[in-house]
Structure 1
């Protein structure tokens, strides 16, 4: 596995992910962005210091993305998101990509806390996050709307000192 910054040439892969209803439901986001819209978003956000997006590669092939978003340099926290293309799932890439994203957030950005949102009905993801030391900080009731209904979500957080103690 290799991780590298997202480049404009990766947008067709992002386009495929963004147009998968089941994939975007995991992120509680609306599917169906146009490639033109993604290009505009990329150009608008390329210099935005409140986010970092990385491509996860497997044998030099696009396998997914890990994102640090809403980076807050005053409070030193951010949200992390990860999506692995269905063709690459089951190979441990989610854990490797998550590890790389967390380490970047704590060791490069000097963050104090990284948090995420996960559907309460996604026990596989919750299990992975708990293995990294994320702790459930609360249940957000009917917080996200995806695939025609509202979903409860856990907010889970990880502090730098807990991550390094576990490591």
Structure 2
């Protein structure tokens, strides 16, 4: 059996820009990242967005997912509520890294970071119901289905449900 890949979370560096841009510009998965219309993303627009993020360091924590020394995705905690002690978690992987357990490992690491280092009590996420690979990875990491927003997302010509999932520190 081959060795399992070494998955780590680390700070973003300038050398990660190409991989992170490829994730942000991937029109095949745009529905999984937000409510905006699908549109090509230029490198200049992406670079401007990164610069704006670093200027407004809002309530989020972002990591690069690295496998055996190479960047393969990103993970983050968003909309951190310091009073109620919860945050939304998100993860994105390049196509070659999907289906290999990398997402499950990275998700477990960011959840551990959220609970142990940030003292959060709860993390939650939203996922399109047809993204069964992601749902499976979230369940492996301990997330449970907490609800469903019926026909809430417009995905490639039809409406799909959004599944709400959460995980409590306890």
TM-score (norm 1): 0.86
CA contact 1:18–1:32 (8 Å) conserved in 2 = no
Bigger shift: residues 138-147 or 22-31: 22-31
* Contact 1:118 1:125 (8 Å CA) reproduced: yes
Match of 1:11 in 2: 17
| 2:95 matches 1:67 | no
Q: State the distance in 1 between where 2:99 and 2:131 align.
A: 15
For 1:119-157, what per-residue CA distance to the aligned partner results, in whole angstroms no more than 9, with x for missing partners?
Answer: 122233222212222111111122222333332111001
**How far off its partner does 1:19 sit?**
1.9
Which one of 120, 132, 141 corresponds to residue 132 of structure 1?
141
- CA–CA distance in structure 2, aligned partners of residues 7 and 141 of structure 1: 39
1:148 aligns with 2:157: yes
Give the CA RMSD over aligned residues.
1.8
**C-alpha distance in structure 1 between counterparts of 2:125 and 2:39, whole Å:** 20
Cα distance change of structure 1 residues 159 and 72 upon mapping to structure 2, 3 Å threshold = same
1:105 and 2:114 are equivalent in the alignment: yes
Greater Cα offset, 59-68 or 16-25: 16-25
> Aligned residues, how many?
161
1:23 and 2:29 equivalent?
A: yes
Tell me, which stretches of 5 or more residues in structure 1 are unaligned?
A: 162-167
Q: Which contiguous aligned blocks of 4+ residues in structure 1 show a shift greater than 4 angstroms?
A: none
Structure 2: tracts of 5 or more residues without a match? 1-6
